[in-house]
Amino acid sequence: MFKSNGRKLALALVATAVVSMLAACGGGADAPAAPVQATVASPDPTLAPTAAPPQAAPTAAPPQAAPTVPPTVPPTVPPTVAPTAPPTVPPTATPEPSAVFDEFGFSLVLDRGAYLTNLPGSTATQGMVQLEYSGVNVILSWVPINGGTNQGLVSGTFAMLQDSQPGLTLETVSEADISVGLEPALVLGFKSIGAGNTIVGGGLIGAWNCLDDKISFTMTVTGEDAAVVQLRFTRLVDNFSCAAV
């Protein structure tokens, strides 16, 4: 509507200007009409259409932070435990019962590893046995008392032992009183000297009486190691009893 009114006003202004020019020139009918240059008035700037106000550029939305994704924790897998086989327990060996030598009225308990040989002709009143016992040699003999003493039995046994080994010299090193059960006993210690004055062994000779049975006993233990000889002799006399069990 503003454009239509503007055009009409502009045409009216042009027509008014033409009439005014004709009147000023007093122009009659014969006078040539001067060329008239139509002037087109500029449209009223106030009537010019108002430009649309510039629109503000759309404000870019602030970048949104990417959502925080919690780290994925792999599931904990418990370690595989291999089944443990129960420990192998070696079978416990049943100890062999100790042997007891009691054929002739007395008793002697023998530990494992002791091998006894009964010499022919042995009786309850007189006899002899030989014993191999963990590194030593043992001879146990018995005879009727007949007034014999422990000192006489020890001395006689020592002399016979010396005569049976002419290549060795036997020297006494100790003498002591002990007990075998309830009976008093005597023990003689000696060493064996070989060639070059070298000690090659030794032994112990013990003697005691079993008065109830009127039997005298003599035990000789020999070996290369004096400590082993002492240990075996003590073990044997501790396991001896005048009465059979």
Radius of gyration of the chain, Cα coordinates, nearest whole angstrom: 73
3-state SS of the chain is CHHHHHHHHHHHHHHHHHHHHHHHHCCCCCCCCCCCCCCCCCCCHHHCCCCCCCCCCCCCCCCCCCCCCCCCCCCCCCCCCCCCCCCCCCCCCCCCCCEEECCCCCEEEECCCEEEEECCCCCCCCEEEEEEECCEEEEEEEEECCCCCHHHHHHHHHHHHHHCCCCCEEEEEEEEEEEECCEEEEEEEEEEECHHHCEEEEEEEEEEEECCCCEEEEEEEEECCHHHHHHHHHHHHHCEECCCC
How far apart CA 225 and CA 192 sit, in angstroms, is 11
Paired sense of beta strands 240-241 and 107-110, if any? antiparallel
Structure confidence at residue 32 (pLDDT)? 44
Task: Please check whether residue 136 is in contact with residue 223, taking contact to mean a CB–CB distance below 8 angstroms.
Answer: yes
What is the rounded average pLDDT for all residues in the chain?
76
Q: Terminus-to-terminus CA distance in the chain, angstroms?
A: 154
Q: Which two tokens stand for residue 177?
A: 């009183």
Confidence of residue 48 (pLDDT cuts 50, 70, 90): very low
Domain 99-241 CATH assignment equals 3.40.630.30 = no
Question: What's phi and psi for 90, nearest 5 deg?
Answer: -65, 145
Band (pLDDT 50/70/90 cuts) for residue 148 is: confident
Total-model pTM: 0.60
173-179: list long-range contacts, CB under 8 Å, 24+ apart: 173/202, 178/206, 178/237
Query: What is the pLDDT, as a whole number, of residue 235?
Result: 95
Cα dihedral 236, 239, 240, 245, rounded to 10, equals: -150
Read off φ and ψ for residue 193, nearest 5 degrees: -115, 125
Could you read off the pLDDT of 115-127 as tens digits, one per residue?
Answer: 899 899 999 999 9
Residues in the chain: 245
Kindly report, residue by residue over 198-233, the tens digit of the pLDDT.
999 999 999 999 999 999 999 999 999 999 999 999
**Token code pair at residue 36:** 């008239």
Q: Is the pLDDT of residue 21 over 50?
A: no
* Domain layout of the chain by residue ranges: 2-47, 99-241
**pLDDT higher for 65 or 209?**
209
Q: What is the sign of the dihedral through the CA atoms of 119, 123, 127 and 130?
A: positive
